[in-house]
Amino acid sequence: MARKFLYVVAILIALFIGARIALGFFPQQLTRLTLEPTSRFEPQPVLASNAYADPALWLSRPGITGEDPARWTPEGFVPDGPPIDAAVFFIHPTTYLKRDHWNAPLDDADALKFARVVTRANASVFGRAGEVWVPRYRQATFGAFVSDKPEARQALDLAYADVARAFDLFIAAQPAGRPIVIAGHSQGSYLAKRLTEDKIAGTPLAARLVAVYAIGWVVDPAQDLPRMKLPACAAADQAGCVISYLTFADQADVAMMRDAYRRLAGGAAAQATQILCSNPLTGGLGGSALAAANIGAIVPDVTMQSAKVTPGLVGAACAADGTLRIGEGPDMGPFVLPGGNYHIYDYALYWTNLRQDFARRVAAWQARR
């Protein structure tokens, strides 16, 4: 069984490295040829209103049987306090890297295995929450983010429809007045922004919102925050606000990330993109902090199944272009994208600090009640 799992991990790494090479060394036109699906978009029915009552459609939720990836903790981790009375809705990033379809089939075994791995590394930041819910969904394939075809937007609309269905069940399961958090990474953060606009902004749920962690995707303060009807988090003890950052080594090229955002934003938002830079080491907006303020990154092994807590690994400095810069960048394994893009490790590099950030913001929300 262990050998079979390692074989699957090796395949996933090989697939990712293929995408990595294309993204890092070839122009965007060739990147599209390498990653963009060759088939037409396949219209699919909206999931039934009660579809997410099935525990099989969740990676994490209360009462789940077997391992709960959101409750994972790394080697050397010291428990940091009792459960926190809050419920977190976390949307995992892209784990479907194939070109067969514009959207991942729910029965794709490779995408599911990789989703469990990244949920363990990312959603575990919120592991002290009383409830953490992480839905499976028909995510858009990786190639949708480098494509100019209308199918890319259709694929993301389908992914969003699933996430919105899951969120409705998540909210229905919460007692009145319980604080909630919306969080995601990469594609998950793109969907989290849209979810906040559609389901939170201007509704009674806004009063229950602790924060939106839209990490690993562009949040434009001028375009996105007004639609979300939320401010950026300007202080570590602020609630009802948005946290977002994109992690790069100092010499990294951020053009492709900007282009992906502009492509999907469309309209006026595509013309002038700003990037919100929350500092994960200070809890504030912009600025810089030395590595000594980093109380514990997690550094994974090659299988991405275990990791060690490593204090002082990197600092955090918000650059003039709005990205978060970390110096030359540490050796984190094969998933660092060429040119110093630490996208996969946005959460991992600040894992322990983000756990504390979550606890502080819930306490701030409770204090103002």
Q: Reply yes or no on whether the pLDDT at 30 is more than 70.
A: no
Q: Reply yes or no on whether the pLDDT at 18 is more than 60.
A: no
Q: What is the reported pLDDT for 162?
A: 98
pLDDT-derived band at 206, boundaries 50, 70, 90:
very high
pLDDT-derived band at 24, boundaries 50, 70, 90:
very low
pLDDT digits (tens, 9 = 90+) for 292-344: 999 999 998 876 678 899 999 999 999 999 999 999 999 888 788 777 889 99
DSSP per position, 157-213: HHHHHHHHHHHHHHHHTSPTT--EEEEEETHHHHHHHHHIIIIITTSGGGGGEEEEE
Q: What is the reported pLDDT for 179?
A: 98
**What mean pLDDT is predicted for residues 2-21?**
45
Residue 224: count other Cβ atoms within 10 Å of its Cβ.
Answer: 25
Q: Reply yes or no on whether the pLDDT at 5 is more than 80.
A: no
pLDDT digits (tens, 9 = 90+) for 32-47: 556 788 888 888 999 9
Q: What is the reported pLDDT for 23?
A: 47
Choice among 5-9, 220-224, 296-300 with the minimum mean pLDDT: 5-9
Q: What is the reported pLDDT for 65?
A: 85
pLDDT digits (tens, 9 = 90+) for 71-126: 999 988 888 889 999 999 999 999 998 888 999 999 999 999 999 999 999 999 99
Q: CA-CA distance, 54 to 332, in Å (whole number)?
A: 36
3-state secondary structure string, 244-286?
Answer: CCCEECCCCCCHHHHHHHHHHHCHHHHCCCCCCCECCCCCCEC
**What mean pLDDT is predicted for residues 174-202?**
97
Q: Reply yes or no on whether the pLDDT at 16 is more than 60.
A: no
pLDDT-derived band at 263, boundaries 50, 70, 90:
confident
Percentage of the residues of the chain whose pLDDT score is greater than 70: 88
Q: Reply yes or no on whether the pLDDT at 201 is more than 80.
A: yes
Number of domains in the chain: 1
Q: What is the reported pLDDT for 73?
A: 93
Q: Reply yes or no on whether the pLDDT at 182 is more than 50.
A: yes
**What mean pLDDT is predicted for residues 165-189?**
97
Range of the domain at 69: 2-367
Q: What is the reported pLDDT for 11?
A: 45
Percentage of the residues of the chain whose pLDDT score is greater than 90: 69
Average pLDDT score over the chain: 88
Choice among 9-23, 35-49, 235-249 with the minimum mean pLDDT: 9-23
**What mean pLDDT is predicted for residues 259-282?**
76
Distances (CA, A) of 237 to 43, 182, 241, 344, 357: 44, 17, 10, 27, 8
Q: What is the reported pLDDT for 252?
A: 81
First to last CA, the chain: 50
Query: What pTM was computed for the model?
Result: 0.91
The residue whose two tokens read 């993204």 is 23
